[in-house]
Amino acid sequence: MLAEQQSPSGFADRVYDLLERVQYRRMETAAELDAVLRLRYDAYLKEGAIPVSESGRLEDAFDEVDNVYNFGVFVDGELASALRLHRLSHLHQKSPALETFGDFLIPELRACKLILDPNRFVANYRLARLHPALPYVTARLGVMACVHFGIDLMTMTVRAEHRAFYKRTLFAYQACPPRPYPLLSKPISLLFMDFVRDADRIFRRRPYWISSESERQALFGKGPTSLRSQSGSVAIVPTYVAQAASRLVRVGPNLPKRAVVSPRIAASR
């Protein structure tokens, strides 16, 4: 992880610089999903979270439910990281967090809360070391989804050593101590991020997570990635060149921020 303590402005510049080289892609075809499953396997195996498997893939039943969004993050055309999202709006939907922490999520759903469950956050080990800002670029997907879907709560199902990152970056708080989690050998904690309460200060602290409506629509507007379009075309949102520091974007009342770079997006097929 990138040490943010060195210089907040210098850190933000490194994230902006990486965003200029990033493409977010909806992973919908069999080949794309296979690449994600192999990246997951390599990442979890390296951390000792799963046993060796001859398939070289880490998959589960949550990849093809009707509320799943699988994304790849590409740096200079190479798959660098991946993130899976599940949008929960009612009790009949499925997600890993809902299966493992239902006693905490079901009351929130019954209270008509919209929940986002990001999971299978993985990265290419070599590229993660080469690009320390990669976790922040990847986490941006979850924040964009919160805005697009009007999310109330976002879950974080993480191991103990990763809790500090989410508490620092997203003001997350622990809802449940570690317990067993599907397919993983290490226990996982449940954290919540109250997006309604904390969105403004999140964007104040991390303006590179700001996104445009067109960017969010390109990523999420076609619906879940398990429901494949028959068009066969790929919509691309061009990369916007980073502007001078004098260009401003409003985040909340009277808060000017540097314009965020909009990465290229392979939106859908």
pLDDT in tens, 131-143: 999 999 999 999 9
Compute the mean pLDDT over every residue in the chain, rounded to the nearest whole number: 84
Q: Mind listing the domains of the chain with CATH numbers? A: 4-266 (3.40.630.30)
pLDDT at 87 over 90: yes
pLDDT top residue among 255 and 142: 142
135: number of Cβ within 10 Å: 19
For residues 82 and 246, give the distance between their C-alpha atoms in angstroms, rounded to a whole number.
Answer: 33
Alpha helices in the chain (DSSP H): 8-19, 30-46, 96-100, 102-110, 125-130, 134-149, 163-170, 195-205, 213-220
Of 29-38, 48-57, 256-265, which range is least confident? 256-265
Percentage of the chain exceeding pLDDT 90: 68
Residue 253: exposed, middle, or buried by beta-carbon count in 10 A (0-12, 13-18, 19+)? exposed
For residues 225 and 227, give the distance between their C-alpha atoms in angstroms, rounded to a whole number.
Answer: 5
Question: What pLDDT, on the 0 to 100 scale, is given for residue 184?
Answer: 77
Question: What pLDDT, on the 0 to 100 scale, is given for residue 155?
Answer: 98
Q: Strand, coil or helix: what is 223?
A: coil
Question: What pLDDT, on the 0 to 100 scale, is given for residue 162?
Answer: 85
Residues 6+ apart with CB under 8 A from 246: none
Indicate whether this model's pTM tops 0.75.
yes
The mean pLDDT of 104-114, rounded to a whole number, is: 97
Length of the chain: 269
